[in-house]
Structure 1
Amino acid sequence: MTERLPLFPLSTVLYPGLVLPLHVFEQRYRTMMADLAAGPEPHRFGVVAIRDGQEVAPTGQDTRNPALAGLNPDPAQALYDVGCVAEVASLQRRPDGRYEILASGTTRFRVTDLDPSGPYLTASVEPYPDEKGEEAELLAAGVDRAFATYQKRLAGARESSVAGKADLPDDPTVLSYLVAATVILDTPAKQRLLAAETSAERLREELRLLRREAAILGRLPSLPAVELTRQAFHPN
């Protein structure tokens, strides 16, 4: 079933079950939050990630203006089409008109139509269900182990200590989103994890990424600085 949501583009990816704190200062998003606050609960909006190297032009602005040079006037090109619904837990308006928001990701959606004509972006979206997929439990066990190794090597590279191992969730889908949100990756990689068709597909990709990143981190202390940079930005 299609529904219409206000959209909040961000330079990061929101996953179901994860918390999203927001400090809202742009006028168009202040307007969005005021409209949400005036509407019925639950207050919900869609979060979509901005593609690397893109920036969305303010809604309704003439991008021929030199001050807006380089901004993409077409949000369909600047934004990914799979996002996550954010449900507001706390919405506070400050005296200067800014908002402090605490929201959490709930479900995935796919954008079917964008409307840039209003004071902020809205979109028609359809649910994007997350099936578990084959071998999800087996893959989850492998990700659990690989994530522990990644954390230890990351702490070593930062010359910090790892706190006692926290219990990771047993549910493969919940685990897949928690790991996706925690691992240090660029936006395209994080978006691919969000858009995976099944939890098993996401876990399989996470297992590959965790092993790759752990291997890179394991080599860092023994490499000269120039080689460290090459390895960090151009992994095999």
Structure 2
Amino acid sequence: MIETLPLFPLGTVLLPGASLPLRIFEARYRQLVLDLVNEVVPDRRFGVVGIRQGWEVGEDNVDAMYEIGCSARLGEVQQLPEGRYDTTSTGQHRFRLLQLDTEAAPYLMARVEWLPDSTPQQDSDQLRERLVASARAAHERYLATGLRVEGTTTPDDGTDFAELPYSLAENCVLAPEDRQRLLAETDPVARMRAIRSLLNRETEFVRRLRAVPAQLSEFAEHAGTN
């Protein structure tokens, strides 16, 4: 199904179910907030796409955006001085960008195609149980390093299999490229494997990084005695 959405390019990647707090100060996006609140845009819904390079997308560099994005529903809105807003939105559904429109509104508009999950190439109840257990274990090891996004919680045991990788990623400090990889993966089994792999990689990276200062200080002591 193809629809038209207002588009908000960001230097981060929004995942389904994730919270998105934003401070809005640019005139075009202040107008977007007003249009969402006043239901000029239906359902208070807009699209979020990650930016591959830089922090802003204009008419001359729209190709810098990722092809796969996530819709969001505007929630709380707090008006600030000088026409700014603090907003909170929630990620909803994945989409593929089809066509951009830089003229219909002060902000970007886009024709998008909703992107549902595909049928896993390998699947069984036993496989899913093993993957959930190993992904949650990887998540616990990651959180034990002390890296955690404030204000987030560990996913409930009843979290849907297809949504669990997004929920596990929400309270982890992952690079936009890694979050984009999860968003773009349509096979839920492959997505679970991907989040497990990412968490194991990041945990090992932190473990090795924390071992470096002790080694460097040892080298410094040796250098000082010569």
Note if contact 1:140-1:176 (Cα within 8 Å) is conserved in structure 2: no
Q: Which residue pairs with 1:65 in the alignment?
A: none
Pair 92,151 (structure 1): closer, same or farther in 2 beyond 3 Å = closer
Q: Which residue pairs with 2:180 in the alignment?
A: 191
Pair 31,216 (structure 1): closer, same or farther in 2 beyond 3 Å = same
Counterpart residue type for residue 55 of structure 1: E
- Does residue 34 of structure 1 match 2:31? no
CA distance in 1, matches of 2:87, 2:56: 22
Note the residue ranges of structure 1 that are not aligned, 5 or more in a row.
60-72, 159-163, 228-236
CA distance in 1, matches of 2:135, 2:88: 29
Alignment map for 1:45-84 (pairs within 5 Å)? 45-53=46-54, 55-57=56-58, 73-75=60-62, 77-84=63-70
CA distance in 2, matches of 1:130, 1:137: 19
**Structure 1 length as normaliser, TM-score?**
0.77
> When the two structures are aligned, how many residues end up with a matched partner?
205
CA distance in 2, matches of 1:165, 1:173: 16
**Structure 2 length as normaliser, TM-score?**
0.80
Note if contact 1:7-1:45 (Cα within 8 Å) is conserved in structure 2: yes
CA distance in 2, matches of 1:201, 1:3: 27
Q: Which residue pairs with 1:96 in the alignment?
A: 82
Shift of 1:91: 2.7
- Does residue 142 of structure 1 match 2:128? no
Note the residue ranges of structure 2 that are not aligned, 5 or more in a row.
217-226
Q: Which residue pairs with 1:125 in the alignment?
A: 112
Note if contact 1:23-1:100 (Cα within 8 Å) is conserved in structure 2: yes
CA distance in 2, matches of 1:166, 1:127: 25
SS of the aligned residue for 2:82 comes to: coil
Q: Which ranges of 4 or more aligned residues in structure 1 deviate by more than 3 Å?
A: 52-55, 92-95, 164-170, 224-227
CA distance in 2, matches of 1:49, 1:225: 37
How many percent identity over aligned positions? 41
Which shows bigger deviation, 182-191 or 88-97? Answer: 88-97
Shift of 1:106: 1.0
Note if contact 2:45-2:74 (Cα within 8 Å) is conserved in structure 1: yes
Counterpart residue type for residue 120 of structure 1: Y
Note if contact 1:51-1:79 (Cα within 8 Å) is conserved in structure 2: yes
Q: Which residue pairs with 1:11 in the alignment?
A: 11
2:197 pairs with one of 175, 195, 208: 208
Shift of 1:166: 7.1
